[in-house]
């Protein structure tokens, strides 16, 4: 390359760099005076002015932090058994109607694989009107915190909640017992009715019916 060609190449590079710098400064200046056009999100800050975190446009199938609606949870432990990393744990007691009453339910998201196997295992009977099971993966992706113990889902039933659940269990047990008793009595009454009908049918069959001829016509013995 000749000296003249080298000089021309250098000038060309300087020109390109200047154009790039001016373009960059124009973009920066535009966003400086129009903050609502900001497209870069600083981690841990709001995406746009006035828009809170966790409300980004996330696909519905996104596997984020787990959540359990404990009011619908039947405490079957299927989720804990399905979890490959044992990050789900719970404690419970058995109520008067033999259903389980939840004391606490924990999901340690620090060892969660976000595989969703626990939500698959959760039974269909826990579904709400929208067809959502009690254990779901939310679209919450950012749960950074200074304390490890705060990461994950943690439910601990207070005394008030336990009392209400025990009372509901006792009522269900009473209703079940009353329904069972009523069904047994109804069955007994039906059996007694059937026996009475059978007896009356048998009585009707043993009585010989009288014919018209046997009442008026004299016998051959009487005529001779
Ligand atoms: S998503 Fe997977 S790893 Fe996480 S709690 Fe559920 S089963 Fe366990
Ligand atoms: S599988 Fe569902 S219903 Fe069963 S204990 Fe887990 S969250 Fe509760």
Residue range 65-117, pLDDT digits in tens: 999 999 999 999 999 999 999 999 999 999 999 999 999 999 999 999 999 99
ipTM score here?
0.99
176 within a domain of the structure (yes/no): no
> Can you tell me the mean pLDDT for 121-148?
92
Q: Which of 19-23, 57-61, 143-147, 154-158 has the lowest mean pLDDT?
A: 57-61
The answer on 99 and 18 residing in a single domain is: no
90 vs 222 pLDDT, higher one: 90
Nearest 5°: CA angle at 222, between 218 and 224? Answer: 125
Q: State yes or no: pLDDT of 221 exceeds 50.
A: no
* Phi, psi of 84, deg, nearest 5: -75, -15
Give the model's pLDDT for residue 115: 96
180 within a domain of the structure (yes/no): no
Give the model's pLDDT for residue 176: 95
Give the model's pLDDT for residue 85: 97
Among protein residues, the one whose CA lies closest to atom 7 of ligand 2:
135
Averaged confidence pLDDT in the chain: 86
Are 114 and 87 within 8 A, CB to CB? no
Residues above pLDDT 70, as percent of the chain: 82
155 vs 43 pLDDT, higher one: 155
The answer on 154 and 73 residing in a single domain is: yes
50 within a domain of the structure (yes/no): no
The answer on 30 and 70 residing in a single domain is: no
Q: State yes or no: pLDDT of 214 exceeds 50.
A: no
E-strand stretches of the chain: 66-68, 88-94, 100-107, 135-137, 153-156
The answer on 13 and 93 residing in a single domain is: no
Q: State yes or no: pLDDT of 217 exceeds 50.
A: no
The answer on 82 and 22 residing in a single domain is: no
Residue of 122, 93, 95 whose CA lies nearest to 107? 122
173 within a domain of the structure (yes/no): no
58 within a domain of the structure (yes/no): no
Residue 110 C-alpha to ligand 2 middle, in angstroms?
20
Q: Domain with 72 in it: what CATH number?
A: 3.30.70.3270
Residue 61 C-alpha to ligand 2 middle, in angstroms?
20
| Domain interval for residue 155 | 66-166
The answer on 79 and 31 residing in a single domain is: no
| β-bridge pairing 153-156 and 88-94 | unpaired
Total domain count, the chain: 2
> Among 144, 166, 188, where does a domain finish?
166
> Can you tell me the mean pLDDT for 48-64?
68
157 within a domain of the structure (yes/no): yes
Q: How confident is the model at residue 60 (pLDDT cuts 50, 70, 90)?
A: confident
Residue 121 C-alpha to ligand 2 middle, in angstroms?
8
> Among 115, 150, 166, where does a domain finish?
166
| Closest ligand, as measured to the CA of 123 | 2
């Amino acid at each position: 390359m000749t000296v003249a060609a080298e000089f021309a190449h250098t000038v060309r590079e300087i020109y390109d760099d200047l154009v790039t710098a001016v373009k960059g400064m124009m973009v920066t200046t535009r966003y400086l005076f129009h903050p609502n056009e900001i497209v870069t999100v600083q981690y841990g800050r709001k995406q746009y002015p006035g828009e809170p975190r966790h409300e980004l446009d996330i696909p519905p199938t996104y596997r984020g932090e787990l959540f359990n609606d404990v009011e619908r949870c039947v405490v079957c432990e299927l989720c804990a058994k399905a979890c490959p990393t044992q990050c789900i744990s719970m404690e419970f007691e058995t109520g008067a109607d033999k259903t389980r009453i939840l004391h606490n339910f924990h999901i340690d998201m620090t060892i969660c694989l976000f595989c969703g196997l626990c939500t698959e295992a959760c039974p269909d009977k826990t579904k709400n009107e929208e067809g959502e099971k009690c254990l779901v993966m939310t679209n919450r992706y950012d749960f950074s915190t200074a304390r490890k113990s705060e990461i994950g889902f943690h439910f601990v039933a207070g005394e008030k909640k336990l009392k209400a659940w025990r009372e509901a269990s006792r009522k269900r047990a009473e209703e079940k017992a009353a329904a069972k008793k009523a069904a047994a009595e109804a069955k007994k009454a039906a059996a007694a009715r059937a026996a009475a009908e059978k007896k009356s049918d048998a009585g009707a069959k043993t009585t010989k019916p009288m014919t018209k001829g046997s009442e008026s016509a004299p016998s051959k013995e009487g005529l001779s």
